[in-house]
């Protein structure tokens, strides 16, 4: 496979305004597809080879249904927009039967232990994951203007499924957020003196509508990277947000230091947010809106966690436990 071929796909996706993360994921699956077929060019392959690859992901790699769907989307894009040879609507591949895992949820005392062992450098964004129920990338993509101090709210733009929503903001985090915004101001002051600085990355519609906003504090990322970097879209110099792996590692390290036996990830904090809202009396519709779930059934999984013994069933063993003991 020629790297020029991949570069052309990447450039096309940028022109079509795909997110960088989506581009990376699609390229990963396209490369895996080509490797699976012993580096034959995709234009010599089609439906049958795509079916074989997608089935291989299930039989050998044992991937989830969502991962298999991502691989399919990547190949659909490849054949429709790059090679102009669209795949058949109905492909006959083996579909993953993996069911979504039950969420891991921390108790409120475990959350306290966790935050007592969180690094000061990453405590604020991690606190927003739990305090506002944000997904990892929703947190990292926050701009200064997305924090509404008057109404104690966080504005989430283009979350999962491209949806917008407004979520709660803890009063306790406001002083730290104000300090963080001052940090962003300091970075902007330094960057503004750099003749090569092209401003912060702007979504395409806003870029056209507000041509000078890239240099405005309100549009800058709330959690900026410590280093400037090249924008892969046009090689301009910008300051991006911190890398997602930074928070992932920080969460894992804090959980280990706290001695938590559960597998804790950034998404565990979101699960815990939802469960604790319900535990504290919030109605399920409110929790659904806070999480940005389209389907109420997705949110209802948290009600099952709170029910004693699963669906409120009390084990009959409890009636004889004293006798057996």
Q: Where are the chain's structural domains? A: 3-82, 142-240
Give the pLDDT score at 209. Answer: 83
Catalytic entry in 20, 95, 253, 267: 267
Question: Is the predicted pLDDT of residue 88 greater than 70, yes or no?
Answer: yes
Catalytic entry in 160, 163, 209, 285: 160
In angstroms, rounded to a whole number, what is the distance separating the alpha carbons of residues 174 and 187? 20
Count other C-beta atoms under 10 Å from residue 8's C-beta: 12
- 3-state DSSP call for residue 50? helix
In angstroms, rounded to a whole number, what is the distance separating the alpha carbons of residues 10 and 145? 30
In angstroms, rounded to a whole number, what is the distance separating the alpha carbons of residues 264 and 116? 15
Catalytic entry in 239, 241, 270, 271: 270
In angstroms, rounded to a whole number, what is the distance separating the alpha carbons of residues 191 and 55? 49
Please report, rounded to a whole number, the percentage of residues in the chain having pLDDT higher than 90: 73
Count other C-beta atoms under 10 Å from residue 63's C-beta: 18
- DSSP class per residue in 8-76: HHHHHHHHTT--HHHHHHHHHHHHHHHHHTTT--GGG--HHHHHHHHHHHHHTT---HHHHHHHHHHHH
Which contiguous run of DSSP H or E holds residue 237?
A: strand 237-238
Contact status, residue 223 vs residue 128, Cβ threshold 8 Å: no
Residue-wise pLDDT for 40-83, tens only, equals 999 999 999 999 999 999 999 999 888 999 999 999 999 999 99
- Known active-site residue 81: no
- Known active-site residue 293: yes
Residue-wise pLDDT for 202-258, tens only, equals 887 778 788 889 999 999 999 999 999 998 878 899 999 999 999 999 999 999 999
Average pLDDT, the chain: 91
Give 113's DSSP letter: H
Q: Give the Cα-Cα-Cα angle 141, 147, 149 (nearest 5 degrees).
A: 170
Catalytic entry in 20, 135, 155, 253: 135
Query: Which of these, 306, 305, 271, lies nearest to 111 by C-alpha position?
Result: 271
Contact status, residue 105 vs residue 268, Cβ threshold 8 Å: yes
Burial class (CB in 10 A: 0-12, 13-18, 19+), 224: buried
Range 3-82 has CATH code 1.10.150.130: yes
The pTM score is 0.81
- Known active-site residue 276: no
Residue-wise pLDDT for 126-174, tens only, equals 999 999 999 999 999 999 999 999 999 999 998 887 889 999 999 999 9
- Known active-site residue 271: no
- Known active-site residue 270: yes
- Known active-site residue 160: yes
Question: Is the predicted pLDDT of residue 277 greater than 90, yes or no?
Answer: yes
Give the pLDDT score at 15. Answer: 84
């Amino acid at each position: 496979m020629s790297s020029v071929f991949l570069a052309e796909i990447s450039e096309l996706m940028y022109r079509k305004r795909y997110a960088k993360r989506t581009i990376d994921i699609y390229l990963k699956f396209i490369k895996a597809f080509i490797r699976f077929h012993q580096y034959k060019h995709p234009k010599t392959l089609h439906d049958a080879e795509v079916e074989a690859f997608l089935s291989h992901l299930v039989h050998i790699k044992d991937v989830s249904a969502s991962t298999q769907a991502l691989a399919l989307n990547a190949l659909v894009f490849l054949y429709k927009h790059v090679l102009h040879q669209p795949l058949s609507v109905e492909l006959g591949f083996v579909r993953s039967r993996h069911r979504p895992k039950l969420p891991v949820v921390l108790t409120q005392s475990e959350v306290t232990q966790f935050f007592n062992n969180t690094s000061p450098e990453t405590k604020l964004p991690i606190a927003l994951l739990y305090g506002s129920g944000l997904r990892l990338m929703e947190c990292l993509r926050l701009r200064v203007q997305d924090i509404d101090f008057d109404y104690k709210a966080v504005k989430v733009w283009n979350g999962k499924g491209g949806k917008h929503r407004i979520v709660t903001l803890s009063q306790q985090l406001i002083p730290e957020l104000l300090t963080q915004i001052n940090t962003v101001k300091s970075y902007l002051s330094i960057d503004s003196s750099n003749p090569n600085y092209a401003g912060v990355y702007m979504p395409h519609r806003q870029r056209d509508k507000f041509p000078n906003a890239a240099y405005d504090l309100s549009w800058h990322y709330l959690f900026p990277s410590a280093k400037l970097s090249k924008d892969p879209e046009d090689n301009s110099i910008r300051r991006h947000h911190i890398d997602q792996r930074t928070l992932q590692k920080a969460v894992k390290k804090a959980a280990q230091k706290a001695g938590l036996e559960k597998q804790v990830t950034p998404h565990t904090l979101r699960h815990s947010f939802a469960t604790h809202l319900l535990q504290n009396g919030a109605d399920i519709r409110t929790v659904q809106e806070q999480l940005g779930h389209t389907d109420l059934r997705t949110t209802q999984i948290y009600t099952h966690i709170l029910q004693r013994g699963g669906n409120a069933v009390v084990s009959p063993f409890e009636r004889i436990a004293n006798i057996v003991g």
